[in-house]
Every structure is written in C-alpha cells, then in structure tokens.
Amino acid sequence: MSDALLEVEDLRVAFASGGREIRAVDGVSYQVEPGRTLAIIGESGSGKTVGCRAIMGLLPLGTAISGSARLHGTELIGLSDSQLRKHRGSDMAMVFQDPARSLNPTMRVGKQITEAIRTHRKVSKSDARDQAIELLRLVRIPAPERRFAEYPHQLSGGMRQRVVIAMALACRPKLLIADEATTALDVTTQAQIMELLLELQRDLGMALIFISHDLGLAASYADEVVVMYAGKVVEQAPAKRLFGAGGTVKMRYTRALLDAIPHLERAAHTELPVVTGRPPDPSMLPVGCSFAPRCLSAADDCAAKAPALTEHAPGHRWACWHPCENGGTA
Amino acid sequence: MAAQLPDMTAATLTAGGQPPLPSLVSARALRWQKVSRALRLWVPAALLIALLFLCFVWPYIYSIPPGDSGSILDAALPPFSPGHWLGTDPNGVDIFSMLVYGGQVSFEISLAVTAFGMIVGGTIGLTAGYFGGWADSILSRVVDVLIAFPALVLVLAVAEVLQPSETHLIWALSVFSVPAFARVTRGATLTVRNLPFITASRLTGTSNWKIIFKHVLPNVIPGIVTFSLLGIGIIVILEGAVDFLGLGIQIPQPSWGAMIAKGQNVLTAEPQYVLIPSIVLLIFVMSLNLLGDALRERWGVR
C-alpha cells in the first residue's frame, strides 16, 4: 500500500463560474508506484487534466481543491506556491500537449534546459551545459551539440517534444505527468515519443502518468488505466485485464469508447459506432449515473441513483449498475 | 477523369530525367517583392537617420546662424537667399537654424517621454499582466484613470502651474505615455503568460522574476518597440501642439510648433513660415509610423 509514489485520495476540484459551481473533478482516487505507468483516459472536459494540474498546483487562485495527494508521503494539496516550487521539477515534472508552444521562441533550446537544471542544483555553467547535452542525447536527439545552440523554430514537432521532455527530466523527477504529450504529433512520431517515455521511465525508475483521450495508446503502453467521465472515475483496472486477450471491460462508457475505434477486421461499409450526445454540463450533473443519458443500456435505476466505484473483482473497479457481460463485445 | 490519371503519370515518368520545376510565380514578381520589402524598411529609416544627422551632427560640422536671434538687416528674406537657404523670419532669424534647433528639442522631448513611458509603463504592464489578481486590478484602474484624463488639458495645466519648460513638458507628456505603454505591455504579457512554455518554466521551479525577465520580456519587446515608434510620432505632434498654444518651449528658443504658430498670422502672404516646419514634422512623424509598420511586419507583431 504505502510503496506507492503518488497517492491521490478523494480529490475534488470545483470552480465558481457564472454564479454556479462547476465540479471539474469529483472524488478521484488512484495511486502510482515507481516505475509504473498510469493512463488517465477521458473525453475533453472529463477532468483528467484539471485533476493533474491540481496536484501540480497549477490551478488559478480561487479554485476549491479538497482531498489529498501525497507524493512520497508529502501532502501536496494546500501547499503554497513557494513550497511547491521545491517539488516541481525535482520531484515531479510535466510535459504538455503543444510542443510548439512549450518552448520559449526567443531562447536557444540549450539555454532553456540549462536553466531548468540550474534552478534546482548549484552547478557551474559548463557543467550544466554538459548535463544538458547529455539530456539531449538521452532523449535521442541526433547531434546534440549542434541542437544545443538552435532555436525552437529550427526543430521539428517531434524534436521539440523531445526537448520538452529533456527539460522535464532535467532534475530527474520521480514522477512525470504527460498531458496529451503525443496528441499534437503524427502517429509515427507519437509512437516514437511513447517508446522514448517508457524507455526513460525504465532507465530512471520514474512513475509515469499519461493523460490521453486515446484508448489505443493506453492499451499499448499503460500498466494501469483510469477511465474518467464527468469528473468521476468510472472504471479502473490493470491494462491487461481491460484490453488483453478476452478483455473484460465492464463499464458501458469504456466499452463505447473501445467500439468507436476503427478496426481493420470490422466488416467493410458498416457504420462506425459512435458515442452519441455530448458529455453533461458539469454545472448541472444528473442525479443518477452521469453517463446514463448517453448509455444504450440505461435503465430506470441508472437515472435514480449514481453507482459507486466499487472493487468488484481484484484490482478492477467500475461504477455501473448494469456492467457489460463477457466484456460486452457483442 | 480517373482513366486519364495513369496516362499522365506514365507520361511524366517516361519523360525521363528531372525537368526543372516551372516556377508558378514570375521572377519579376519575386524580385519586386524583395525590393519593396527592403524599401518599406529602409526608406523611413534613412529619412529618420538623415533628420537625426541634420539636427544633431550638422550644426557641429558646419557653422549655421543662431536659431534664436538674427539681424534685423536680414529680416523676412525669401528662401534660397545667400547665407539663408530657407530664408529668414520677420525677426531675421534663419529658418533652417530654427528647424535644426527646434528638431533637437522635439527629438529630446519625444525620446525622453517615450523612454520614460516604456520603462515605467512597461514595468506596470508586466507586473499587472503577469501576476494578475489584485495587483492587476489596482494597477489597471490607475492606468484607466490616467488614460481617461484628457492629455492636452493636463499638459496645459502643468505648464500653467509649474512654468513652461522642457523638463516640465517631459513630465506632463509622460503622464500620457506611461498608461499607454502599460496597457500595451499588459495585453502582450497576458497573451504570453498563458502559453505553455511559461507554465513549463514554472513547473521546473523557476522564480517569478526570472520568468518575467527571461521568458515574458523577450517575447513582448517587439510589440513594445513598434508601439514606441508610433508613440514617438504622437508625442512629437502633441509637443508641437503645446508649443503652438504657447505653453511649451518658450520664445526665443525655437521649436517646430512655435514656428507654425508664429507663421499662421501671415499664412496667405508668406505660406513658407507654416509650410516648412509642417513638412518637416510630417516627414518625421510619417517616417516613424512607416518604420513602425515595417518592423511590425518583419517581427510578426499583430
């Protein structure tokens, strides 16, 4: 239990907007062990990014955050900006979606990495330079000495994302959060970056949380998967259990997402199933299950009372009154 | 259509070798684009440099008549008179000298006011834009009040109360330039501060001041510099207006605005008294604006 690196318990984040309360994250719990990969999957607005930003202390002032997030037993929620600064970079780091805008266009990439190194460690300029080049080599950038002196606009998207990862790794964080880190890249680059992240994770023993809307990515790279919907975790299980041979997806929402992925073996010219409708307005969530209005198997009890996230099978939790039978492949 | 496609590929393949790609844009159009782009930057820049040279270097190389006194014997000479190539005014003061010394004052005042506005207003804008929250609320309200204040009225009030002088004029006009720069800087800062690289920098634990100087400032400077060129033009005109009203630079010290004011009494009979300083003022302000536009285009500022 306590060998977890990051323990998030009952995290809740709420904003006030237009005189109404918006519950962006509503009671989320998970934990990540060192060297493991957790995928947080969900549609836009499901609270996956907000939850992680709350942990990093990146939400604007005036956001109500409750619950707990312990990194190595240190409570992060409620820390001031200056207290958090000690943990940021050295204990946890984050990689963002848009590599084009994650680097300062007016600064050479090498300078940006050395700056990240020198904020936490007292090292000389030339040592920092050597470390930065070493980092560039670590993220597989060819000719790192030359790239060191280049500006971001001289690099391709995949290359930039590698630089951003190098910056995040500058102080060897124990936890790396990749927020849609591969979404803006094309599919081959995406695979390279994911491979790189996993390799680095193995070498450095980091825990990796990657936030994505891509179930396929989670299936291929994650150890543990958390599926979020309307601010709540609706299903949580080891990736193997969900997507492995004879996968047993229980929650109807996860199933619907899986079905919406095009497959080669699907009969030609059949209509691709989609999840109809849109996620509920987070300021007025339904009383019952949030997914009920879009769920094909919704019954009366779904609208009446929200199902709780319960551990029905070892390591597998889901929140559904009418879970799929046999993985619901039918 | 579909049947033609294989044909076309075959034809291109059998043509062999690699035919040079035909340019879709004519070479002339390309050359003209390059030339006009260079001209847009260098013509106003050259005009400005020439004006600066004329005002600050010329009088030290060549001796020119004094700009604040003249001999009554040379009064009201027409342009192209020997020794006074732009002529003299009814008091016998050389018009070219007045332009040169008046230009010095205009340059000094406009640069001082702009520099002051850039530093003070820029700091206010950066602070307000970056930190947001109550700092932004307070600073923005102060700036709003200053902007709402009619600039010319304030300048006139200062001149009335504190005696007209070059220094007082600089302070009074700064009240106008500081909030303008604060607004522009704040706006630019707001756009930059929400970019992911700022967040990324915060995430590596960089302190706020370091982020402001290393990440925000270099990205807002192009916008501020182009704005300052437009700002200088506005200040020169404002300064001219105050001189025109007789509350700026005091006679006999020459200034462009005062020259225009003096000449307006004889506008129909001797139009050159108004025309000459007006044309110089026009060239100066227009070069500044054109240079600002050219830089904006090059740096890709809005």
Question: Tell me, what's the pLDDT at B228?
Answer: 92
Q: Assign A174 to helix, strand or coil.
A: coil
- Tell which residue, A210, A221, A96, A212, has the closest CA to residue A163: A96
How distant is the alpha carbon of residue B101 from its chain centre?
20
Question: Tell me, what's the pLDDT at A299?
Answer: 82
Handedness of CA A223, A228, A232, A236 (dihedral sign): negative
Task: Select the residue of B200, B207, B210 nearest A102 (Cβ to Cβ).
Answer: B200
Phi, psi (5° rounding) for residue B103?
-65, -40
Residue A52 has pLDDT above 50, yes or no: yes
Q: Measured between CA atoms, how close is B192 to chain A, in angstroms? A: 10
Q: What is the mean pLDDT of residues A230-236?
A: 89
Residue A123 burial class via C-beta count within 10 angstroms: exposed 0-12, middle 13-18, buried 19 and up: middle
Residue A132 has pLDDT above 60, yes or no: yes
Task: Select the residue of B196, B204, B215 nearest A101 (Cβ to Cβ).
Answer: B196
Q: What is the largest CA-CA distance in chain B?
A: 95
- Tell which residue, A318, A324, A330, has the closest CA to residue A297: A324
Residue A38 has pLDDT above 50, yes or no: yes
Do the chains contact at A115 and B200, CB–CB below 8 Å? no
**Closest alpha carbon within chain B to A173:** B204
Helix (H) or strand (E) holding A203: helix A187-204
| Chain B CB contacts of A116 below 8 Å | 201, 204, 206
Reported as a single tens digit per residue, the pLDDT across B138-182 is 999 999 998 888 878 888 888 788 888 888 888 888 888 999 999
B81 versus B132: which is more confidently predicted? B132
What percent of chain A shows pLDDT beyond 70?
A: 97
Confidence at A246, pLDDT banded by 50, 70, 90: low
Measured distance CA(B280)–CA(B286) in Å, rounded = 10
Do the chains contact at A107 and B218, CB–CB below 8 Å? yes
Do the chains contact at B196 and A106, CB–CB below 8 Å? no
Reported pTM: 0.75
Residue B72 has pLDDT above 90, yes or no: no
Question: Tell me, what's the pLDDT at B53?
Answer: 93
Radius of gyration of chain B (CA): 27
| Chain B CB contacts of A63 below 8 Å | none
Contacts of A242 (CB under 8 A, 6+ apart): A219, A225, A235, A248, A249, A254
Measured distance CA(A87)–CA(B55) in Å, rounded = 58
The total number of residues written for chain B in this structure: 302
| Chain A CB contacts of B202 below 8 Å | 58, 88
Tokens of A128: 């920092």
Question: Tell me, what's the pLDDT at B181?
Answer: 95
What percent of chain B shows pLDDT beyond 70?
A: 93
Tokens of A92: 């946890």
Question: Tell me, what's the pLDDT at A306?
Answer: 83
Alpha helices of chain B — where are they, by DSSP H? 4-14, 27-56, 58-61, 95-116, 122-131, 133-148, 151-162, 166-193, 196-203, 208-211, 217-244, 256-263, 272-299
Q: What is the mean pLDDT of residues B27-41?
A: 89
Task: Tell the residue number behind the tokens 């690289």, with chain if given.
Answer: B197
Contacts of A265 (CB under 8 A, 6+ apart): none
Question: Tell me, what's the pLDDT at B52?
Answer: 92
| Chain B CB contacts of A164 below 8 Å | 200
Q: Measured between CA atoms, how close is A127 to chain B, in angstroms? A: 18
Reported as a single tens digit per residue, the pLDDT across A280-289 is 887 778 888 8
Q: What is the mean pLDDT of residues A259-277?
A: 78
Residues A6-101+174-328, CATH architecture: 3-Layer(aba) Sandwich (3.40)
| Average pLDDT of chain B, as a whole number | 84
**How many residue contacts between A and B have a Cβ separation below 8 Å?**
67
CB of A101 less than 8 A from some CB of B? yes
Q: What strand order describes the sheet that includes A74-75?
A: A20-32, A6-17, A64-71, A74-75
- Tell which residue, A57, A90, A228, A240, has the closest CA to residue A170: A90
Reported as a single tens digit per residue, the pLDDT across B78-89 is 777 777 788 888
Q: What is the mean pLDDT of residues A160-165?
A: 89
Reported as a single tens digit per residue, the pLDDT across B244-274 is 888 878 777 888 888 888 888 888 888 888 8
Question: Tell me, what's the pLDDT at B302?
Answer: 58
Question: Tell me, what's the pLDDT at B125?
Answer: 94
Helix (H) or strand (E) holding A215: helix A215-221
Measured distance CA(B42)–CA(A156) in Å, rounded = 33
Question: Tell me, what's the pLDDT at B11?
Answer: 45
Q: Which of A158-162, A227-231, B131-135, B200-204 has the lowest mean pLDDT?
A: B200-204
Q: Which of A24-33, A238-247, B239-248 has the lowest mean pLDDT?
A: A238-247
Q: What is the mean pLDDT of residues A135-142?
A: 88
Reported as a single tens digit per residue, the pLDDT across A70-93 is 988 889 888 888 888 888 878 888
Domains of chain B, first to last: 35-68+90-299 (1.10.3720.10)
Residue B5 has pLDDT above 50, yes or no: no
| Chain A CB contacts of B131 below 8 Å | none
Reported as a single tens digit per residue, the pLDDT across A139-150 is 888 899 999 999
Q: Using an 8 Å Cβ cutoff, are A230 and A291 in contact? A: yes
Residue B27 has pLDDT above 90, yes or no: no
Confidence at B12, pLDDT banded by 50, 70, 90: very low
Residue B14 has pLDDT above 50, yes or no: no
Question: Tell me, what's the pLDDT at B212?
Answer: 92
Q: Measured between CA atoms, how close is A265 to chain B, in angstroms? A: 29
Reported as a single tens digit per residue, the pLDDT across A295-323 is 888 888 888 888 888 888 888 888 888 88
Q: Using an 8 Å Cβ cutoff, are A51 and A11 in contact? A: yes
| Chain A CB contacts of B218 below 8 Å | 104, 106-107
Measured distance CA(A300)–CA(A298) in Å, rounded = 7
Measured distance CA(A212)–CA(A252) in Å, rounded = 19
Q: What is the mean pLDDT of residues B195-222?
A: 87
Q: Using an 8 Å Cβ cutoff, are A319 and A230 in contact? A: no
Q: Measured between CA atoms, how close is B20 to chain A, in angstroms? A: 28
Tell me the ipTM for this assembly: 0.72
Question: Tell me, what's the pLDDT at B157?
Answer: 84
Contacts of B26 (CB under 8 A, 6+ apart): none
Helix (H) or strand (E) holding A271: none
